[in-house]
Amino acid sequence: MERSLPNITPRNLTRYVSKVRKRVLPIGPMVLLAVLLLPALVSAPYVEAQGSATVAAEPLFINLGLTTSIVVKSPEAGNYTVVVTKPDGASQAELNYSFVEQNETRETYGNATMGFRSVIDQVGTYRVSLRRGGEQVTEATFFATDKLVLDLTVANSGTSDNVCYISNQFTRGTSIVPRIYVQYASTGEYMTLADSPKAVVTFTLPNGTKMQALFASYLPPKGAWRNCFRQNWDDYAGPWNITAEASDGKGNYGIFVSYPTVTLPLRTGPLALRFGYEILPAPLTVTASVLDAATGKNATTTLSAGQRLRIEAKVEYLPPLGPLSREWPEGYLGLLNTTRGGVVTAKLGWGFYNETAKTFGGKSPGGLVATIPLTYSEATGLWVGTYNVTGTEPKGDYMAVVEARDRANPPNTGTGRTALFQVVEKVVEVPVERIVERIVEVVPVWAYGAMAGLLVIGAIVGVAVTRRK
């Protein structure tokens, strides 16, 4: 059930308060004063409080050589002076702001030809003081840094100018393209050649020397710094700890150092996880064949004692990215020869060839028959070796595996197999004289006497039969 408040008048206010104090809670003089003034407070008109002038820098975090805006807000007309003190405490610049009414005004700080006509050239905290009539009203600060942030990726150029693929492993002979994005640590803005014409960006080549990167405006979002180089056949190969450096000519600097090359032990082989960058030796292309030296035709079937086999191999440095590649690295393409310190060897064997163990046979029948060093022929550009058949080779499927390497450190290597040819039987050629000698060795002497006796008896019998007739 609701109860209505009594009609309070100044006359019965004292009596009502006395009752409330007895029945509810004791109240002090301040509560009584609030009750008395409540009607006046409710009916009083609202008056907006007058604010103070403010000053701020936008943005608050900036790089050397860039600009910020000094923003002054005034709640009324008036004249103000802003003084900016650099981190060294001695260098100052000031500018007057005038307001004809409540307003906001901003001026550039960091440009030598406009606004405060002063540049941001010191790292640290800048103090911004707002003054009026010689007295300070308020102040603010902003901070300047000299840090640049670099992000680097490396690509192999592909089959055309528009096809490149990001990688962290590269072979000798390919075009390698480091691409560096440079941003200001304060605002995240990209450093471009238009804004920083004196900028210098470099990266280290695998041999440790530096190469300057050029600005490519076509790379999104606002361009990047890049350049291309090629590894020759005998250039460095191994972990590539690439370092990129950038300066914008305004005092800002940044550096990128790649992660060391690490292979995680979780996986092995081509699926191994790797970090960092690495230059790999180039693959050599080996094309080999086994010929019958007498006919010049491919060896096919029976090997016979005294037969001579000729192993030929052509070893080449071909375009690393395949026949459609636009790559044409000068000094890389060509034949493996003695000038490049070539060493080429052929393994002649039969049965299954284990690529991993690099052996013939293993769990199945087979084995190595001979290891044949090959010699380079300047006339033909081929590596050549011979094998003389003994006639005692086991029958089976034969082939030669040719292995090649050059004198680079580590060497470029390659392997090629010849076509299979069969040894279907053992063929032993024995001269006629040797056959007669063998017969003489086998037949005993007494047999010759018995044969002579039989011949004499046969002759006598023949004569007797003739006389009877």
**Residue 443 within any structural domain of the chain:** yes
pLDDT, tens only, 169-214: 999 988 899 999 999 999 999 999 999 999 999 999 999 999 999 9
Query: Quick one: 107 and 176 in the same domain?
Result: no
**Residue 74 within any structural domain of the chain:** yes
b/e map 145-175, b = 16+ CB within 10 Å: bbebebebebbbbbeeeeebeeebebbbbbb
**Residue 388 within any structural domain of the chain:** yes
CA neighbor of 393 nearest in space, from 360, 355, 345: 360
In the block, tokens 């991993």 appear at 356
CATH code at 244? 2.60.40.1930
**Residue 3 within any structural domain of the chain:** no
Alpha carbons 40 and 23: distance in angstroms, whole number: 28
Position 427 confidence tier, pLDDT thresholds 50, 70, 90: very low
Tokens of 261: 């090359």
> For the chain, what percent of residues have pLDDT higher than 90?
57
| Mean pLDDT, residues 95-104 taken together | 93
**Residue 369 within any structural domain of the chain:** yes
Query: Quick one: 194 and 214 in the same domain?
Result: yes
Query: Quick one: 141 and 153 in the same domain?
Result: no
Provide the domain count of the chain. Answer: 5
| Strand-strand pairing, 359-360 and 353-354 | antiparallel
Tokens of 50: 């007058």
Sign of CA dihedral 180, 184, 190, 192: negative
Query: Quick one: 317 and 416 in the same domain?
Result: yes
Query: Quick one: 352 and 227 in the same domain?
Result: no
Query: Quick one: 319 and 406 in the same domain?
Result: yes
Query: Quick one: 333 and 456 in the same domain?
Result: no
Least confident of 104-118, 200-214, 432-446: 432-446
Query: Quick one: 152 and 263 in the same domain?
Result: yes
Mean pLDDT of the chain: 81
pLDDT, tens only, 298-339: 887 667 778 899 999 999 998 876 655 665 556 888 999 999
* Res 131 pLDDT > 70: yes
Query: Quick one: 415 and 462 in the same domain?
Result: no
Position 361 confidence tier, pLDDT thresholds 50, 70, 90: confident
pTM of the model: 0.72
Among candidate residues 254, 279, 304, the one where a domain is terminated: 279
Alpha carbons 59 and 9: distance in angstroms, whole number: 61
**Residue 182 within any structural domain of the chain:** yes
**Residue 60 within any structural domain of the chain:** yes
pLDDT value, residue 108: 96
**Residue 6 within any structural domain of the chain:** no
Alpha-carbon distances, residue 425 vs 156, 391, 428, 457 (angstroms): 53, 9, 10, 47
Among candidate residues 88, 110, 145, the one where a domain is terminated: 145
pLDDT value, residue 344: 98
Query: Quick one: 417 and 379 in the same domain?
Result: yes
pLDDT value, residue 265: 56
Query: Quick one: 200 and 264 in the same domain?
Result: yes
pLDDT value, residue 245: 98
Domain of residue 410: give its range: 285-423
Task: Please count the other Cβ atoms lying within 10 Å of the Cβ belonging to residue 358.
Answer: 11
Query: Quick one: 300 and 401 in the same domain?
Result: yes
Among candidate residues 279, 309, 327, the one where a domain is terminated: 279
pLDDT, tens only, 37-71: 444 433 333 233 347 999 999 999 999 999 999 99
